[in-house]
Structure 1
């Protein structure tokens, strides 16, 4: 039973609320392995017109099950009113740091590992192991041994060196490179979910010698704790255990020194593993309290074992801000179709996207885009609906381009900057109506930034995320118009696809007037003629099927992120954390054209950007690279002994038949024809000759994209 502070209306559960209650209750029953029981009482906490930031406080009077729902229907691509999420904060009667997260399913076994101790347990092949940091900032060494080999008198446990070599990562993560191997190169466990993503696979578990050398003889340590816990399993004791250390925060400095600091983990963070064979495992709560390794205070670790019949989605957790709840990697609406064509998925900004496709590969995918047409899933882009009387004023202030010149039905590419002139993100603005805009970008934080700007300036504008209501498919290449012209139906008051100009959009349907609602924009990220189709995720499989069927007679191929990177570098298109970051202004990022000199209304970063226009520090340039040596992001650029810049992106261009790069150089030498060298090894011992060149390297006049 709960009591509610604030306005709430008692209602019998019905319609969307009833459905949400039924779904939530069924999910809870599955989680607890039983039935909650009892009658449901419904309350509407917020009216339809509740302002952003409205709150309700609920006091728990006695134990029970509380279900919160935010029901909402589909938002069509031409609309701007997506259902939004609720933020829920729980304040318990006990210590906040000792509350475990809800079980992912009914556990087979719970193993508590008290602070500064270790526990051993057996796990069957296929079962799951969830290692939970109970209070946060607590490391847990983890050991696992092949149980069948132990029965034969042989010890084969997790081997960090073999794992890092084969996986190509310091620590495996959910996805293609998720497995931990033993010295025989046989996988023992794989990572399924990880809410932290930062761990250690370099070092030993702490041992008596570490504390003795620090002046703490007799200190509790993970090695002695492991020796005691594993003694009954036929595993010989060791002077120091090589372990996989979850939640331990180590780093290798450029000079080679290994450093450490407090863990990144928070209360309830966890790693979920799956046993790939029968195992004997051990987990510790690290005993270190003499340095920051455990935040100076060892606390408990908790382990849950789940039956292998459960299916847990793979994912890495992301937090938009430090205090935001973690959100796991998710699949796009097109995933069922792309998954049928490839198993090569990578985690990109919280979504699983294909890197390349079986039977094609990056080279074939690239040429399909340049010569015919390709289709790709770009649903990881973030979308925000900005509406209200002051929507135009908000966007005019938030981005560098002049929004008052943007017509309904038009799209513009622009930068969004911080007050110091550094870039928060780049993206496109769609003018959906006189007082309605759609901002499409890469960074989830842009939505919060826009809300904060609106609040600080007292603007009557609402910013809602529509990322989960709009997924988008890009159809790019010289035959893209031919493919889509017969597929997209538009009503008489909308522009026909065949007549759609560059950076314009139209609203229509797939097939005919009764088809799937879509918005189609003439935009893309390849440097070719192309379009993006925006639809609700529920409709995504059908949209893919329609595009795929229409494209097959024209040689349409799927394309992944690998080939897309080649295409965008050739086209001189910038990428976050490569060509720009918060320390890079639009001029340095090569998109100075997004900062009009004539915009006379104030916008974020205006004064600094005016100064930078007149006195730029660096410029983005193209490089023609001599020979066939591989160069890449982060390689330093030199003139003589002096370092003058850095390579931001590079590729071996299939169509140009040479290596090209984008680089940020000191403005004093960023002139076409300037000879430079790209440094390898330490930057001095090996040099690759290059020359500053115009960019884009491919189709510099953009005649193809404008065709």
Structure 2
């Protein structure tokens, strides 16, 4: 990632180019330096040793203490450089940071000479009962000179590498199967894209991308990596598919800018993409148009509720890109949009880079996920269990940076649902974020950060709790595991929780480390009445740990499955007796296979997101973005039980939550819905003409045989038995009757999830 910064000592100077890269835990990252560059290496989370390898004299004599020989690190550095075709025979190693480094510590260096460097993040695989995950080191390289024109390194050796200068367009040919990378070099720059069937062009027929057909067939505003990834022509034939997208915000229905657009604004004769395309495509015999319908990558347009089309500056950052794959031989054209009279290109057109890679390359599919706005983008990744899940379905969706199964091809979500309710089901939940909270002030930090009383949490115990902002709105919900007196594990859904915890620790001067362990700790849920029988046959625990049959609700134990170290907690998200099994991703397939074989006689099935939504709504379990957000408090989210009135120690949001408890305005309730019409998240709830609330989640319950919903209503209309109506169409023309009921709808006493093992077990 690159940004431009001004030199504070000379504000008139051209902005420097700052390149940011991340070396991830247990990996190596290679980068180039030039003489005069300023390098800053930061240990974001603390306690993360690193080894920097650079040519001798690159940082001057005595800049860093040279490390002792570390054969493994040297080999990793050599491999990282060799992958870039660089000679790593003369490297000097320097040790950075230590096991006691404070979060946010950094080292700043000035490059005395040019060369290629490699940063190795030390650390081995973390066992699930350990709290030693290797975490990221971030590198910032500030280079003198203008920021424009520095495209990121290619993804592979390109067959074609084209620079589309600002406010111009170029045409090019692509073979079937080849990949097309469209790079926004400096960020906030739109690039129109056209593609035509080359074989049809040779016959004098013009068949290009058709946004209307594409939207109709894909049922999405803009195709994205995954199942709905293709762009079609007017014959309904696919021409290209999206493989990667690091932005996720584009336009595919407006014309490329044209002369009329600028004339109407008072700029006759202004450069425009349509005229640029006409010139670029003329050698291919393609007739000119007054306005080209195009895919406009990076163009930030929206359609409002009032049907008005608006636009703003693109979301793309320097180096962001879209990677396409040609599905037939193509003639393509790409522009750097010429618009400099509105925010479409951030008011200043810049360059676009086009790279074509051979069909033999193998690029993973992914959408970029950023923990915070200034974080490095991470493409969608596969969990350690993905090889087993992908053997049973192709229906994967992007969920919080991971590919998760939406449903399985065997029988579908209804059969998966019944397996969970009547027998057992297994589900990959690895996208849950995990944070190791360790240090002498770990309890103090968690006591300050969450609503539950951490002083009451015993070692080996788990508690469900909320994490809130000072105004009482929720950051997230999650579970806290207490592994030792000053060792906690926070498991939640949002990466930002780690940032919040570190900021909170720094603000209060607490000596504590918050280490991200999501990539070291993947997990499956095994849920259903037969889950105990299935796991008790394969989970081995040492004498000092509870056996599977002894494990109580919201407790965990440590053991092994098929020789793989695991942590097993009696937790879940289904309202059934169930467990979660946590292991290192390297052991995931081994753990899955053992559970699958043990579960086969009991009718175990895989569970996808569609079926999970049914069971969690029946059980009245909150989901981020539905039952809660930063504008709702735990009481409004239906988890007021996670805010004990007896907690006397101060915590973030305590005063606001006390006020909200005493003067509630909204309440989460259950709804029994008349009829079988579909109800969805966001549907309005009315009493007469007035809207008194909104549906947060709804489903057709197989076990109850009716449509049920969770809804946030005004407290004046929240009593069970109250008659309300769910508004469809415009909320007024069509109404569906519903009755307020208590929730959860299914097993309100939680007898199933609390079920203890028989005495003879």
TM band (smaller chain): over 0.9
Q: Residues of 2 paired with 1:7 and 1:61: CA distance?
A: 10
Could you tell me which residue of structure 2 aligns to residue 620 of structure 1? 668
Task: Indicate the SS of the match to 1:67.
Answer: strand
User: Given the alignment of the two structures, is residue 375 of structure 1 paired with residue 440 of structure 2, yes or no?
Assistant: no
Q: Residues of 2 paired with 1:662 and 1:325: CA distance?
A: 36
- Structure 1 length-normalised TM: 0.97
Task: Indicate the SS of the match to 1:499.
Answer: coil
Task: Indicate the SS of the match to 2:738.
Answer: strand
Contact in 1 for aligned 2:182/2:353 (Cα 8 Å): yes
User: Given the alignment of the two structures, is residue 223 of structure 1 paired with residue 274 of structure 2, yes or no?
Assistant: yes
Q: Displacement of 1:6 after TM fit?
A: 8.7
* Alignment length (residue pairs): 699
Could you tell me which residue of structure 2 aligns to residue 32 of structure 1? none
Contact in 1 for aligned 2:401/2:431 (Cα 8 Å): yes
Could you tell me which residue of structure 1 aligns to residue 90 of structure 2? 39
Q: Greater CA deviation, 99-108 or 574-583?
A: 99-108
User: Given the alignment of the two structures, is residue 169 of structure 1 paired with residue 169 of structure 2, yes or no?
Assistant: no
Q: Displacement of 1:27 after TM fit?
A: 2.9
Q: Displacement of 1:433 after TM fit?
A: 0.3
User: Given the alignment of the two structures, is residue 506 of structure 1 paired with residue 506 of structure 2, yes or no?
Assistant: no
Q: Residues of 2 paired with 1:498 and 1:181: CA distance?
A: 55
Distance 1:470 1:37, change over 3 A: closer
Q: Aligned match of 2:515 in 457, 460, 464?
A: 464
Contact in 2 for aligned 1:4/1:58 (Cα 8 Å): no
User: Given the alignment of the two structures, is residue 356 of structure 1 paired with residue 407 of structure 2, yes or no?
Assistant: yes
Could you tell me which residue of structure 2 aligns to residue 659 of structure 1? 707
Could you tell me which residue of structure 2 aligns to residue 159 of structure 1? 210
Could you tell me which residue of structure 2 aligns to residue 687 of structure 1? 735
The aligned runs of 1:336-415 (5 Å cut-off) are 336-415=387-466
Q: Residues of 1 paired with 2:124 and 2:142: CA distance?
A: 31
User: Given the alignment of the two structures, is residue 103 of structure 1 paired with residue 151 of structure 2, yes or no?
Assistant: no
Q: Aligned match of 2:169 in 114, 118, 138?
A: 118
Could you tell me which residue of structure 2 aligns to residue 147 of structure 1? 198
Q: Aligned match of 1:11 in 67, 71, 88?
A: 67
Q: Residues of 2 paired with 1:360 and 1:663: CA distance?
A: 31
User: Given the alignment of the two structures, is residue 650 of structure 1 paired with residue 698 of structure 2, yes or no?
Assistant: yes
Contact in 1 for aligned 2:78/2:88 (Cα 8 Å): no
Q: Displacement of 1:5 after TM fit?
A: 9.8
Q: Residues of 1 paired with 2:713 and 2:302: CA distance?
A: 29
Q: Displacement of 1:54 after TM fit?
A: 1.8
Could you tell me which residue of structure 1 aligns to residue 601 of structure 2? 553
User: Given the alignment of the two structures, is residue 583 of structure 1 paired with residue 635 of structure 2, yes or no?
Assistant: no
1:32-90 per-residue CA deviation (whole Å, 9 max, x = no partner) reads xxx43542222212233222222122333333221111021011111112111101112
Q: Displacement of 1:321 after TM fit?
A: 1.4
Q: Residues of 1 paired with 2:467 and 2:60: CA distance?
A: 41
Could you tell me which residue of structure 2 aligns to residue 309 of structure 1? 360
Could you tell me which residue of structure 2 aligns to residue 247 of structure 1? 298
Q: Residues of 2 paired with 1:6 and 1:675: CA distance?
A: 77
Q: Residues of 2 paired with 1:269 and 1:95: CA distance?
A: 19
Contact in 2 for aligned 1:125/1:277 (Cα 8 Å): yes
The aligned runs of 1:526-605 (5 Å cut-off) are 526-605=574-653
1:359-384 per-residue CA deviation (whole Å, 9 max, x = no partner) reads 12101100000010000000000000
Q: Displacement of 1:184 after TM fit?
A: 1.0
Contact in 2 for aligned 1:569/1:662 (Cα 8 Å): yes
- List structure 1 runs of 4+ shifted beyond 6 angstroms: 4-7
Q: Displacement of 1:700 after TM fit?
A: 0.6
The aligned runs of 1:71-86 (5 Å cut-off) are 71-86=122-137
Task: Indicate the SS of the match to 1:494.
Answer: coil
Contact in 1 for aligned 2:184/2:319 (Cα 8 Å): yes
Could you tell me which residue of structure 2 aligns to residue 183 of structure 1? 234
1:511-551 per-residue CA deviation (whole Å, 9 max, x = no partner) reads 4xxx1110000000000000000000000010001111111
1:196-255 per-residue CA deviation (whole Å, 9 max, x = no partner) reads 000001200001111111111111100000000000001000010000000000000001
Task: Indicate the SS of the match to 1:428.
Answer: strand
Q: Residues of 2 paired with 1:7 and 1:705: CA distance?
A: 59
Q: Displacement of 1:99 after TM fit?
A: 1.5
User: Given the alignment of the two structures, is residue 433 of structure 1 paired with residue 491 of structure 2, yes or no?
Assistant: no
Distance 1:538 1:138, change over 3 A: same
Contact in 1 for aligned 2:193/2:295 (Cα 8 Å): yes
Distance 1:327 1:6, change over 3 A: farther
RMSD: 1.2
Structure 2: where are the runs of 5+ without partners? 1-54, 756-761
Contact in 1 for aligned 2:189/2:345 (Cα 8 Å): yes
Could you tell me which residue of structure 2 aligns to residue 267 of structure 1? 318
Q: Residues of 1 paired with 2:200 and 2:332: CA distance?
A: 13
Could you tell me which residue of structure 1 aligns to residue 680 of structure 2? 632
Q: Displacement of 1:4 after TM fit?
A: 6.6
Contact in 1 for aligned 2:63/2:109 (Cα 8 Å): no
Q: Displacement of 1:594 after TM fit?
A: 0.4
Q: Displacement of 1:123 after TM fit?
A: 0.5
Q: Residues of 2 paired with 1:624 and 1:464: CA distance?
A: 44
Contact in 1 for aligned 2:82/2:88 (Cα 8 Å): no
Q: Residues of 2 paired with 1:548 and 1:389: CA distance?
A: 41
Q: Displacement of 1:420 after TM fit?
A: 0.4
Distance 1:128 1:342, change over 3 A: same
Q: Displacement of 1:19 after TM fit?
A: 3.5
Q: Residues of 1 paired with 2:204 and 2:514: CA distance?
A: 63
Q: Displacement of 1:465 after TM fit?
A: 0.4
Q: Residues of 2 paired with 1:492 and 1:448: CA distance?
A: 38
Task: Indicate the SS of the match to 1:539.
Answer: helix
1:638-696 per-residue CA deviation (whole Å, 9 max, x = no partner) reads 00000000000000000000000000000111110000000000000000000001100
Q: Residues of 1 paired with 2:622 and 2:746: CA distance?
A: 14
- Structure 2 length-normalised TM: 0.91
Q: Residues of 2 paired with 1:58 and 1:575: CA distance?
A: 45
User: Given the alignment of the two structures, is residue 21 of structure 1 paired with residue 77 of structure 2, yes or no?
Assistant: yes
Q: Residues of 2 paired with 1:27 and 1:634: CA distance?
A: 49
User: Given the alignment of the two structures, is residue 449 of structure 1 paired with residue 505 of structure 2, yes or no?
Assistant: no
Structure 1: where are the runs of 5+ without partners? 30-34
Contact in 2 for aligned 1:143/1:281 (Cα 8 Å): yes
Could you tell me which residue of structure 2 aligns to residue 89 of structure 1? 140
Distance 1:97 1:498, change over 3 A: farther
Q: Displacement of 1:13 after TM fit?
A: 5.0
Task: Indicate the SS of the match to 2:224.
Answer: coil
Q: Aligned match of 2:350 in 299, 307, 322?
A: 299
Q: Residues of 2 paired with 1:235 and 1:437: CA distance?
A: 64
1:140-198 per-residue CA deviation (whole Å, 9 max, x = no partner) reads 00000010010111111111111111111111111111111111111111111111000
